[in-house]
Amino acid sequence: MAAAAAFFPVRFAFATPPAGRYEAVLAQFPDFNGTVAVGRRWEILFSRALGLADPVAAMPMALNTRFETGSVSKWIASMVVLELVDQGKLSLDAPILRYLPDFRADNGLRLTLRHLLSHSSGVPNDIAAARKADPKAGTVELAQMDAVRRYASGDLRFAPGTDWDYSHSNWLLVKAIVERVSGQTYADCVSSWLVQPLGLRDSGIYTGDSSAVPGMAVGYAGPPWQRKPSVIPDFMAMAGGFYSSAEDMVRLMEGVLGGDRILTSASREELLKVQRPLQHYALGGRTRVEIIAGQPRRAAWEDGSNGGFRMVARRVLADGVSVVVFNNTSTPHQKLGDLASGLMEAAYA
């Protein structure tokens, strides 16, 4: 990536490309199993459902099939935090001990929400280590502060803000703060501030095994097909508990990034401002400058995985062009990224 090159937003006059251009891209990925959607602002330019939502039960894929979004859930969580910032209830740069007075005081005085949301906190990834040592350890439900004490209260690995470490434990703290300050469950916050205002029909928060959600695809590895679940307890909902459909994700990105419908302009910029340049990491997700249709373009650049689920989401910020790809058969992210790039190029053709 030639990220060092000067970046100037390029205005582009769009004509809707014929569907055949997108179909030609999909034809280069004959084994793709999942859904795709391409949008410009609120308009869905192209969408397709291919393959099977459940390969063992031979359940066909549909455009409204729901998928786990994996770590894109962290981006959604950051939107919720910034809604509370807009409400004047949270500050990104205040010590979190202000919001969690029963948290470990020495860490709570040093850590901020900005550190947690950008994985620059130094909080050790104790929940991942526990799940690795005993896969059942991180699936047992705990009250949020009990989970914080068990999995997010260790000695900091580095001084906050000085390094980067992708730690799921950050999000246990963020969820505790959001629920305490808002007086609502995190699932209700997502529903009230994102799903309902944007008219999303196939999105929300799940806990446990996602197969209990109506209309959900089933995650597999194979063939031969072997189910590949990854249980998400409620205390980890911010780290990986958001589900959606391809068209819903296009609408969500437009609703949050395309104007003041959800967040103020100041909070949108905070969401997208890169905090850790080497990782392109902003708050809960990534912002990159990539060569798209021959021009350097600033884009939200989201990847997520959980169990057999994989997804990529791309949005060119100046033009409002979005591409979403969902998969439930453990296809490598590189391949899905190539598909997303091809669809994005077709949108600009």
Burial class (CB in 10 A: 0-12, 13-18, 19+), 136: exposed
Measured CA to CA, the distance from residue 277 to residue 289 in angstroms comes to 11
Listed in sequence order, the DSSP H helices in 11-102 are 19-27, 72-86
For 38, the enclosing helix (H) or strand (E) is strand 34-40
Contact of 121 with 115, CB cutoff 8 Å: yes
- Residue 145's nearest CA partner among 239, 242, 241, 234 is 234
Quick check: is 341 catalytic? no
Burial class (CB in 10 A: 0-12, 13-18, 19+), 246: buried
Lookup result for tokens 């928060």: 205
Structure token pair of residue 31: 């084994």
- Please tell me which residue in 47, 71, 167, 203 is annotated as part of the active site: 71
Q: Could you give phi then psi for residue 231, rounded to 5 degrees?
A: -70, 135
Q: Give catalytic residue positions.
A: 71
